[in-house]
Structure 1
């Protein structure tokens, strides 16, 4: 299995994987909306996406968005999504995807990678902690849904 940065040529297959991911979190399948969203993010360079690939099959992805720390005058990455299609889970793809994101962040000399995950997503939390992420005990997350 290899991990590489996604390109616009990956968009058709990546759209299917993202649609699977969205359904996993309760959204209805909508390939056109998913492709439009991804296309805009890629075209406007608003995201960094890495994909895992086994032979010629895309098996998963990780998505980073750029955030900004005013206090430190530095960029950081928001790890928004990590997904491996069910058939290819437990083969190290998520681990490789996260490792690649961390290496990329180091190369870009950003301050940190931040993420949120569901409290009951124990396996994901365990993997993130194994790879060096630490739970934030200082700040609470709030959202204003519009």
Structure 2
């Protein structure tokens, strides 16, 4: 078919060298045009290429070096990983249509070709970092992606939501260093207008979990954590018993209105009863009161005031 976009994978040494030449040109031109950008040197380095080559060569969930072709002519490149061993996520690390071929819907056609290519290889949905660039955000939004929190480093994520309905399970977090907890926590903090976790704060959080000071519940869609909440236990002289405080309540935007919030709070409520807690309370903004009431938090206990250091 004339003008059809096709995808070819770089396999030989010559093809891989050509791929990296074009990818580095894309980094210099479009991603890090400022030579003083702190990340520019690393992304252009042989160290980065060696790291990606290790992922490319691994037997499970490798990355793919891809070329876009139209009428036999190379018009762009993409770098992606399909996590078939997990939940079928295709993560698009890089996507570039060469400047001379941009316009007239070429970018969207290449994006659709990439998504079709990934689906044929086991992908159920796609995700990427939009980098905070408004043009990049608008482009991927036009393809069907939606904003969906941030990653473990605090960088904005976009998701092409999966069409398949998969059962959600809720479990207690057992690994204090789970990278998906960091991702969800950063998404939660970003949404309420707070700064994402620093490395020191991530370490402090892991230590608190390890010491049993806080218990996290994760909602999982297969291997992907899509929501969380936490419970902190303390002693109340009012009831002369342990009580719990619910916090860190967050569901990724793309997975809301599917009953996940109720699953999380019910798991926290059941666990709190099993732990002998006399109550589970939550402090919230007025705009969230009706939501929490619908989730079983029906008794009002005064007004909370805080001294912040």
TM-score normalised to the size of structure 2?
Answer: 0.43
Computing the radius of gyration from Cα coordinates, the structure with the larger value is 2
Query: Partner residue of 1:42?
Result: 209
In structure 2, C-alpha distance between the alignment counterparts of 1:11 and 1:107, rounded to whole Å: 25
Cα RMSD of the aligned pairs, angstroms, is 1.7
Q: Contact 1:15–1:38 at 8 Å: present in 2 too? A: no
State the partner residue of 2:302.
Answer: 139
User: Does 2:233 correspond to 1:66?
Assistant: yes
Q: Which has the higher contact order (CA 8 A, sep 6+)?
A: 1
Q: What is the match of residue 87 of structure 1?
A: 254
Structure 1: tracts of 5 or more residues without a match: none
CA distance in 1, matches of 2:303, 2:196: 32
| Number of residue-to-residue matches in the alignment | 142
Work out the CA distance in 1 between the residues paired with 2:294 and 2:176.
33
| CA distance in 2 between partners of 1:39 and 1:19 (Å) | 14
5+ long unaligned stretches in structure 2: 1-167
Partners of 2:185 and 2:248 within 8 A in 1: no
State the TM-score, normalizing by the size of structure 1. Answer: 0.88
4+ runs deviating over 3 angstroms: none
